[in-house]
Amino acid sequence: MIKKIHSYLKTIWPEFHKHKQNVHLESFYTFTDYWHLWVMSIFILAVTALAPLGFVTLIHYQLIQQSVDSELNLRTEQLTSSTKSSVSFFMEERLNALIFTVNEMGYDQLTKMDGLAEILKNLKLGFGGLSDLSVIDTDGNQVAYAGPFNLEGKNYKNQPWFSESLKRTNFVSEVFTGYRDVPHMIIAVRSIKPDGSFFILRATLDTERLIQTLSSHKTGTHTDIFLVDHEGVLQTPSENYGQIFTRTKLTFPTDQTQTKVIMDKHQKNSPIISAHCFISTHIVSTPFVLVVQKKKAAMMHVWLEMRRNINWTVGISIVLILLVITFASTFMINRLYLIDKTKAETMLQMEQSQQLISIGQLAAGVAHEINNPLAVINQTAGYVKDLFSFTDEPQKAEDIIEHIDSILDATDRCGTITRQLLGFVRQFDIQIKRTCLKNLITDVLSFHKKEAEYRGISVGVSVPDTFPDMETDSGKLQQILVNLINNAFQALDDGCCLDISASQITPKMIKLIIQDTGCGIPEKNLNKIHEPFFSTKQDQMGTGLGLSITYGLVKKLGGNISVQSTEGVGTCFTITLPIKIQEGKLA
């Protein structure tokens, strides 16, 4: 994906890559600026687009999770309640059968061997789940027995269940092995003999029938239903914890009466939903706690499948959004770059045009400078011609040489002015070289010398002798001086002043101040003077590009420019520039 995006960038952004290689391209931004702008646009758009999507997805997940958890808990609680009812009915039915039997049959009839066997037969036919039946006296002696085990004459006085049976009218025991050495549980009913002493009718319940009753409520392989005692010892087998009599780490509050559903961790940190309740009947309490456990992942497979589909949908949506944002940002930044490049080229052309305009503005001073020596040449040459044309007398060589020297001096003066102007024009080429700021100021002011003398303008230049030479683009620096000095002369009335000063403020920076006592700039226009095509000249002869280009040139040289002006008092331009700039750093 990244390779495709990179290939796309190279395809639609050739000028951008060209700019990356060409550090000399005149532009308002560097490659790093465009790169950061591209990254920031993608980041901002991505956050703006994906944050609501992520927030809605998160809320949706939470709502689904809460709804699913509530539904699973409710279903588990309902299953627990129905299982509890079945187990309670299983025990209550058989306990009621024993109560009915002991009340209807007397002690004498129950102790008859054939009679007890017939009762057991009828109970098995009517209810099932009973394996044997016995009558035990108060001393724990088994006086009658009916069943498949050889337990006649056994004494149960030391058995824990017997002691509990004597204390209660009805009793249900935990699962234990006893004399028969197989897991079983008993139901005991205490009754009174004709002589007033107690006897106990005991029935043994088959745990397999109880296990079947529990298994009938299982809703799948992910469901585990089992019984434990109050200390967490298994009374029926469990898929999660093992066989009967295995001690678990399950704990239960003794005062709980309602079904409780909890979320728990089991093997390999797999979450399970666990519900437990105490088994009891309206006749007697039992020592059993019913536990129903369901593996959450198995119960949630439908919801998990839906969540996976949602995840895929959200993931694909995020990828598509990022692709669209990337392509859109790339296209927009590419267009922005092309616009900036066109703007930079246009500004470059404007700079060149402004250079010609600046030269045109100097033309008056150049004309004055050249007209004077041309007039001397014309007059002197005419005079020499007249000497030879209107007199036959031989002329003195000294006079002729003197006049010819005047012509040569005037010619040299014209040549100097011409070379100075040509040098001035050549400096507009981009080149970083050692430059004397004082000489540069003097060269620019030389074109205004005659205008200043004619208009009575006082020009002062203050540059210390210790002022260091600058390593900068002399052409750009010269154009800055030309634009500001030309503007100053246009703003000055006859007899006003122009002061130019320079100082070194740090080892790497200088400050140039150009201050005049001209008409000044209105306060409302101070923030607009650097805008292209904005002009305050009343005669509308200005292009409005001078100060805008000057501002750009100062920035390109790595400096800053500020202006303070009071209308009717004057204007002061302050420029700070680095003493040395590197060619690669030139904007």
What digits encode the pLDDT tens for the residues 174-231?
998 888 888 889 999 999 888 888 899 999 988 888 899 999 988 877 889 999 998 8
CA-CA distance, 536 to 524, in Å (whole number)? 11
pLDDT at residue 354 is higher than 70: no
Whether residue 333 lies inside any domain: the answer is no
**Phi, psi of 117, rounded to the nearest 5 degrees:** -65, -40
Where is average pLDDT lowest: 84-88, 182-186, 272-276? 272-276
pLDDT at residue 368 is higher than 60: no
pLDDT score, position 486: 84
pLDDT score, position 575: 94
**Do β-strands 142-146 and 198-205 pair in parallel, antiparallel, or remain unpaired?**
unpaired
Whether residue 456 lies inside any domain: the answer is yes
Whether residue 313 lies inside any domain: the answer is no
Number of domains within the chain = 2
- Mean pLDDT of all residues belonging to the chain: 80
- Confidence at 295, pLDDT banded by 50, 70, 90: confident
Grouping H, G, I as helix, E, B as strand and the rest as coil, residue 462 is strand
Identify the sign of the CA torsion 77, 82, 88, 91.
Answer: negative
Whether residue 379 lies inside any domain: the answer is no
pLDDT score, position 387: 64
pLDDT score, position 26: 40
Where is average pLDDT lowest: 228-242, 404-418, 432-446? 404-418
Asked whether the beta carbons of 406 and 379 are under 8 A apart, the reply is no
pLDDT at residue 322 is higher than 50: yes
User: Residues 234-250: what's their mean pLDDT?
Assistant: 90
Whether residue 523 lies inside any domain: the answer is yes
CA-CA distance, 201 to 102, in Å (whole number)? 7
In terms of pLDDT, which residue wins out, 264 or 90? 90
Do 432 and 294 belong to one domain?
no
What domain range is 175 assigned to?
A: 68-299
In terms of pLDDT, which residue wins out, 573 or 8? 573
**Token reading at 40:** 């920031």
- Confidence at 8, pLDDT banded by 50, 70, 90: very low
**Token reading at 45:** 């758009």
Last residue of a domain, one of 274, 299, 324: 299
223-228 CB contacts, 8 Å cutoff, 24+ apart: 223/79, 223/292, 223/293, 223/294, 224/291, 224/292, 224/293, 224/294, 225/83, 225/290, 225/291, 225/292, 225/293, 226/291, 227/87, 227/279, 227/288, 227/289, 227/290, 227/291, 228/288, 228/289, 228/291
pLDDT at residue 266 is higher than 60: no
pLDDT score, position 267: 52
Angle at 475 between CA 474 and CA 478, to 5 degrees: 80
pLDDT score, position 460: 92
The closest of 552, 546, 513, 548 to 527, measured between CA atoms, is 548
As a whole number of Å, the end-to-end CA separation of the chain is: 35
**Phi, psi of 92, rounded to the nearest 5 degrees:** -65, -35
- Confidence at 498, pLDDT banded by 50, 70, 90: very high
- Confidence at 395, pLDDT banded by 50, 70, 90: low
Asked whether the beta carbons of 53 and 59 are under 8 A apart, the reply is no
Asked whether the beta carbons of 113 and 306 are under 8 A apart, the reply is no
- Confidence at 285, pLDDT banded by 50, 70, 90: confident
**Token reading at 179:** 């004399």
Contacts of 460 (CB under 8 A, 6+ apart): 497, 498, 499, 500
The closest of 261, 275, 273 to 300, measured between CA atoms, is 273
pLDDT score, position 12: 45
Whether residue 418 lies inside any domain: the answer is no
pLDDT score, position 578: 93
- Specify the CATH number for the domain of residue 178: 3.30.450.20
pLDDT at residue 558 is higher than 60: yes
Residue owning tokens 């000249």:
537
Grouping H, G, I as helix, E, B as strand and the rest as coil, residue 297 is helix
**Range from 66-80, 225-239, 250-264 that averages highest in pLDDT:** 225-239
Last residue of a domain, one of 249, 275, 299: 299
In terms of pLDDT, which residue wins out, 307 or 50? 50
Where is average pLDDT lowest: 46-60, 304-318, 383-397, 559-573? 383-397
- Confidence at 249, pLDDT banded by 50, 70, 90: confident
Asked whether the beta carbons of 205 and 130 are under 8 A apart, the reply is yes
Q: Per-residue b/e over 134-154, b at no fewer than 16 CB within 10 Å?
A: bbbbeebebbbbbbebebeeb
pLDDT score, position 5: 47
pLDDT score, position 353: 65
Do 103 and 245 belong to one domain?
yes
E-strand stretches of 405-468:
432-435, 458-462
- Specify the CATH number for the domain of residue 567: 3.30.565.10
**Do β-strands 509-516 and 560-566 pair in parallel, antiparallel, or remain unpaired?**
unpaired
CA-CA distance, 285 to 278, in Å (whole number)? 9
**Is residue 580 packed enough to be buried (19+ CB in 10 Å), middle (13-18) or exposed (0-12)?**
middle
pLDDT at residue 502 is higher than 90: yes
- Confidence at 31, pLDDT banded by 50, 70, 90: low
- Confidence at 586, pLDDT banded by 50, 70, 90: low
Strand partners, 263: 273
pLDDT score, position 189: 93
Whether residue 400 lies inside any domain: the answer is no
CA-CA distance, 74 to 579, in Å (whole number)? 81
Whether residue 562 lies inside any domain: the answer is yes
pLDDT at residue 388 is higher than 70: no
Last residue of a domain, one of 267, 299, 331: 299
Grouping H, G, I as helix, E, B as strand and the rest as coil, residue 543 is coil
